[in-house]
């Protein structure tokens, strides 16, 4: 149980985290408003509005978590406004943009005030009232026809007075004795701690990070010594000089000692940045409680070993994968009370987390539940259906092989798809993030008894490792964590789709093939390119996207550190920084995330190969998707998304129009809204399922209806997936479509 001082320290830590997060959201909202003024197209505006809506929603939730009601109220009002804009219920007028900017000025004051020791109280009341007033006018304006000029003039006067009102905010100084007394209490606590722990020193975390960064510079000395040693060895081999041989032996001995000293120094400094797991798990019990209520389940949650320490940066990156696994245990694992009673179990299910420090500077986290276990038949069928596994290979797979399939993108043990489960994406992302942290994850499961997920991670962040490659005469470093494999293939294995080159993998997946130097804008150097009949490919992966990059040469793997390129080169695309190798040679480090995005954005990045393979290397016939949506804006947006993913798309304005098209056209999948005139999405889904020739067509419902009851209605109607518009992402929809066709 926390004492008052520990609780105060925890709250201060939360506020520090909130300040950082709030500034990021604030800057994103400001950029969104500026972008809205620049973009005229409805689709671009809708994307921007969605992004700003998410930022206001996230900031509202964060403010509520740290008990900042004024920021929460203001963000809630902003969220409502962008919700109306998303639905097209109000229009984005210049007047509305003006008052939104003024509201953000107040928001900035509220955020800045958090770091002000005077703690000046700022009220957002007048700003909120002004926002609500202009929204009311906008709603009325949209619902009514255009009135006479006098009416418009009146409205203009009202809005003008509104701008004057919105520029004012109520500021009250509440300083007094309470502030001084609070400082005295902290000073007393500080003195008490110093009495009991004379060897403790308080150092800001930022200072420790700076010391660690400077100590990691010594890694360059290690690599330089190794480079000179190899140079001397080559000279000795040529000249057989005995004196030189003795020098090499002394250098090797010095290199070993200095390397050990450098490694020990870095390890010890890294250990000062350790933080225990309790800081992460403070938020988890409430989450488990809330989710157990949402799913109508009884769950007991237990944690052991939360005092175990791990690098604070790893702990932060671990947050999302850990929460996903716990949600998985609640949603997929633990049965309903009635199901547990029927199977002879206790009414209340268990989720246990055990954290252990291992002897090799690693930490093991085991998350287990006593639920139904993973349905291996569902996993196997999902893998076959989604093309991850060939049906002919399924019979020879062991239990462990089948379990490992849950980490493949698109594979799920759950048949019904929602925003948070069943799409087969979560576990693949969990595995990827853990791998990026230098860790591993293993799964054991037993039908009817439960499942366990065991994560093993380094206790501190390891030194950067990268693969050095050459492309058109330039040396480039690729972070090893993104490298799936390096292969050499013959040119006739590469085919063309339009103006893009592709290669078909053994698994059947088609990968884009592109020259690394072309994406990076490196000038073509024919003299150094490999003109042999074989091509060296480096397959890189990030966020479930894989691309094969052509390189001229793979030199090897190096240890090092990444340095930024300074403020002047801060925004150089596709480059994350530089590293130093050998005798001080500076090599650019590629930003793989941006590199893959750049590849998908530029068709000219791909190049055609004249030696084409047969038509077998090309993908199957284009699939057809029917999009059913009554909103013209959203219909156009969805059509654009799905067409850009490579599908043939037809649209319908409501359920009746869609069903009519189904009578005369063939489709592989339906994406439908729910709330529509003439025939809603629930009724459309039922009619599709009732008609024999259409009964197998997958139906994805994309809707604003968030309640569990609505989701249940969708499942009962026969829908295969249910995506909430409030948390809608383009990738969610496309990945869900790919899961079914």
What pLDDT sits at residue 185?
A: 38
What pLDDT sits at residue 241?
A: 66
Select from 369, 381, 293 the least CA-distant residue to 332.
369
Q: Answer for the pair 678, 710: CB distance below 8 angstroms, yes or no.
A: no
Determine if residue 472 is left, alpha or beta; phi over 0 gives left, psi from -120 to 50 gives alpha, anything else beta.
left
CA distance 714 to 686: 9
Q: Which residues contact 159 (CB under 8 A, 6 or more apart)?
A: 95, 134, 137
pTM: 0.45
Secondary structure of 96-138 as H, E, C letters? HHHHHHHHHHHHHHHHHHHHCCCCCEEECHHHHHHHHHHHHHH
| Alpha-carbon separation of residue 407 from 82, 321, 366, 433, 605 (angstroms) | 36, 13, 17, 12, 30
Q: Answer for the pair 427, 407: CB distance below 8 angstroms, yes or no.
A: yes
Measured at the CA of 571, the angle between CA 482 and CA 213, to 5 degrees, comes to 65
Annotation: CATH topology of 4-177: 1.20.120
Helices (H) and strands (E) in the chain, counts: 25, 25
CA distance 536 to 550: 6
Annotation: CATH topology of 275-458: Heat Shock Protein 90 (3.30.565)
Q: Which CATH entry fits the domain spanning 469-617: 2.40.50.180, 3.30.70.420, 1.20.1070.10, 3.30.420.40?
A: 2.40.50.180
What is the block-wise mean pLDDT of the chain (741 residues), using blocks of 10 residues?
A: 53 76 86 78 85 88 84 91 88 84 87 65 81 85 56 41 38 36 40 43 66 75 79 74 75 81 79 81 76 86 90 85 90 91 93 90 92 88 75 72 78 58 63 78 91 89 80 89 83 71 68 87 64 79 78 85 73 82 83 80 48 37 86 77 83 89 88 88 91 86 79 86 70 78 80
Task: Name the phi and psi angles at 494, rounded to 5.
Answer: -105, 130
* Secondary structure (3-state) at 311: strand
**CATH of region 624-740:** 3.40.50.2300
| Alpha-carbon separation of residue 155 from 37, 81, 133, 147, 555 (angstroms) | 22, 19, 11, 11, 70
CA distance 348 to 337: 7
CA distance 613 to 560: 41
Q: Answer for the pair 438, 414: CB distance below 8 angstroms, yes or no.
A: no
Question: Token pair 């209605």 is at which residue?
Answer: 713
Task: Name the phi and psi angles at 679, rounded to 5.
Answer: -150, 120
- The alpha-carbon radius of gyration of the chain (Å, integer) is 30
CA distance 275 to 272: 9
Q: What is the dihedral of CA 286, 289, 293, 294, to 10 degrees?
A: 50
What pLDDT sits at residue 157?
A: 42
What pLDDT sits at residue 305?
A: 93
Question: Helix crossing, 242-271 with 205-216: angle to 10°?
Answer: 170
Strands of 561-692 (E only): list them: 575-581, 585-590, 624-628, 648-652, 669-672
What pLDDT sits at residue 155?
A: 40
Select from 693, 676, 689, 692 the least CA-distant residue to 715.
689
């Amino acid at each position: 149980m926390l004492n008052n001082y520990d609780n105060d320290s925890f709250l201060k830590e939360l506020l520090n985290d909130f300040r950082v997060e709030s500034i990021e959201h604030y800057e994103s909202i400001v950029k969104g408003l500026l972008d809205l003024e620049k973009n005229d197209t409805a689709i671009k505006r809708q994307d921007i509005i969605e992004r700003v809506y998410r930022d206001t929603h996230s900031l509202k939730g964060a403010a509520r978590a740290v008990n900042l009601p004024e920021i929460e109220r203001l963000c809630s009002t902003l969220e409502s406004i962008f919700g109306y804009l998303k639905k097209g219920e109000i229009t984005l007028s210049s007047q509305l943009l003006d008052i939104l900017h003024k509201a953000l000025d107040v928001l900035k004051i509220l955020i800045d005030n958090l770091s002000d020791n005077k703690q000046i109280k700022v009220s957002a009341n007048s700003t909120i009232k002004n926002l609500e007033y202009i929204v009311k006018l906008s709603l009325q304006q949209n619902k009514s026809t255009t009135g006479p000029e006098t009416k418009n003039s009146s409205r203009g006067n009202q809005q003008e007075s509104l701008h004057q009102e919105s520029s004012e905010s109520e500021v009250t100084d509440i300083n007094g004795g309470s502030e001084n007394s609070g400082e005295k209490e902290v000073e007393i606590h500080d003195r008490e701690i110093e009495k009991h722990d004379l060897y403790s020193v308080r150092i800001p975390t930022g200072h420790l990070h700076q010391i660690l960064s400077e100590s990691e510079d010594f890694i360059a000395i290690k690599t330089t010594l190794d480079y000179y040693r190899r140079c001397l060895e080559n000279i000795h081999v040529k000249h057989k000089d005995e004196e030189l041989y003795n020098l090499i032996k002394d250098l090797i001995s010095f290199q070993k000692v200095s390397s050990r000293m450098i490694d020990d120094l870095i390890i010890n400094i890294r250990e000062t940045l350790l933080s225990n797991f309790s800081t992460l798990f403070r938020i988890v019990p409430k989450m488990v409680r809330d989710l157990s209520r949402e799913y109508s389940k009884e769950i007991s949650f237990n944690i052991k070993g939360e005092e175990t320490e791990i690098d604070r940066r790893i702990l932060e990156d671990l947050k999302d994968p850990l929460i996903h696994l716990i949600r998985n245990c609640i949603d997929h694992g633990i049965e309903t009370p009635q199901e547990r009673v029927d199977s002879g179990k206790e009414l209340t299910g268990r989720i246990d987390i055990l954290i252990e420090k291992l002897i090799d500077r690693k930490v093991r986290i085991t998350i287990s539940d006593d639920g139904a276990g993973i349905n291996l038949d569902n996993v196997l069928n999902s893998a076959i259906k989604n093309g991850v596994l060939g049906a002919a290979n399924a019979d020879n797979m062991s239990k462990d092989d089948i379990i490992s399939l849950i980490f493949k993108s698109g594979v799920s043990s759950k048949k019904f798809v929602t925003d948070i489960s069943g799409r087969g994406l979560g576990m693949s992302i969990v595995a990827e993030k853990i791998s990026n942290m230098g860790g591993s994850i293993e799964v054991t499961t037993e039908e009817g008894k439960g499942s366990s997920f065991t994560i093993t991670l380094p206790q501190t962040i390891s030194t950067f490792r990268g693969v050095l490659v050459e492309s058109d005469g330039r040396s480039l470093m690729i972070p090893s964590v993104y490298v799936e494999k390096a292969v050499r293939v013959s040119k006739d294995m590469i085919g063309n789709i339009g103006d893009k080159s592709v290669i078909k993998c053994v698994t059947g997946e088609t990968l884009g093939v592109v020259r690394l130097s072309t994406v990076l804008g490196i000038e073509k150097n024919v003299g150094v390119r490999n003109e042999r009949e074989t091509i060296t490919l480096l397959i890189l992966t990030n966020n479930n996207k894989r691309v094969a990059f052509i390189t001229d040469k793979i030199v090897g793997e190096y240890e090092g550190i990444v340095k930024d390129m300074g403020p002047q080169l801060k925004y150089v695309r596709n480059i994350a920084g530089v590293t130093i190798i050998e005798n001080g040679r500076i090599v650019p480090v590629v930003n793989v995330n941006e590199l893959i995005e750049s590849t998908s954005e530029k068709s000219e990045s791909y190049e055609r190969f004249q030696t084409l393979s047969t038509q077998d290397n090309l993908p199957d016939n284009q699939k057809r998707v029917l999009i059913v949506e009554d909103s013209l804006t959203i219909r156009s947006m969805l059509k654009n998304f799905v067409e850009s993913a490579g599908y043939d798309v037809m649209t319908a304005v409501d359920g009746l129009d869609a069903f009519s098209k189904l009578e005369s056209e063939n489709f592989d999948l339906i994406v439908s809204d729910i709330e529509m005139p003439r025939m809603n999405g629930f009724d459309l889904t039922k009619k599709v399922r009732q008609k024999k020739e259409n009964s197998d067509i997958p139906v994805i419902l994309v809707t604003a209806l968030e309640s569990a009851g609505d989701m249940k209605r969708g499942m009962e109607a026969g829908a295969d997936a249910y995506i909430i518009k409030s948390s809608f992402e383009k990738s969610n929809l496309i990945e869900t479509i790919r899961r079914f066709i």
